[in-house]
Amino acid sequence: MAADDEAHRPVPAAAFFDLDRTIIGGSSLFTFGWVAYRAGMMSTRQLLSDVTSAVAFKLAGASDEKTESLKERVLASIAGVRVDDLRALGDEILPRLLDGVRRESRGLIDLHHDAGRDTYIVSASPIEIIVDFADALGMTGALGTVAEIVDGVYSGRLAEPFCYGEGKAVAIRKVAAERGYDLELCYAYSDSGGDLPMLEIVGHPVAVNPDRRLEDVARGRGWPIVEFSRTTKRVIRTTTAAVGAVGLAGATYLWGRRAGRAAALRSFT
């Protein structure tokens, strides 16, 4: 390859997607908990406690205390479980997660692939739950919570930083360094103010059905705000961001219209 051609090669970029209430409409941890409960790996008390904690976390928003609570929930849910047993739950977990995928999310994933970008799920859920899910969606990979394994059993301790809040940013920086992504050219999508570290390190942050904290930040900084409707009618809202952000929101809307797909790709790339 000539030196000039090498100098003008596109810099690799990727799009990073939060999982819960971004790619899917609900909670992956609750799905895991329900399947584990039905398999006899979780008691009724544990399941109800997990549901209560999840609701409280959603209503109260992110904080250091809540993040620590979420970490404890994730680790406690798999502590003492054999790795093979957890993976065996995948046959039931995967279809449930796929049923919850939003059409708009699938459209954005396809648009990024068409634009030559890699795509990743970034989630606090155990990596074993989401890696096969990402593969089923045709995504490049998944970044999740990696728990310590001792003699084939989860110890209840972390092997890597907890993949939530700042931990998501750490995971993204790591894969960007390994794969040569230019973070200024990368995209990130989330619904939660707890994911600000992840959104702030990329050049193209997008708020999806944002909570109040994230919506306030997005409006203040001029980030695109995209609302994925739960009905067939899509509602797209944008901030006062630049024309490129408006084009992105437009691409999301146009994805669902067969006649408008080409226009969507032009405005997105």
Nearest to 186 by CA among 196, 171, 176: 176
Residue recorded with tokens 């939003």: 102
CA pair distance 196, 257, nearest whole angstrom: 31
Indicate which residue of 20, 191, 195, 211 is catalytic. Answer: 20
Is residue 18 part of the annotated active site? The answer reads yes
Is residue 20 part of the annotated active site? The answer reads yes
Q: Quick check: 205 and 188 in contact, CB under 8 A?
A: yes
DSSP H helix total and E strand total for the chain: 13, 9
For the chain, helix, strand, coil in percent to 5 are 55, 15, 30
- Would you call 44 helix, strand, or coil by DSSP? helix
CA pair distance 115, 265, nearest whole angstrom: 8
Instruction: Catalogue the active-site residues.
Output: 18, 20
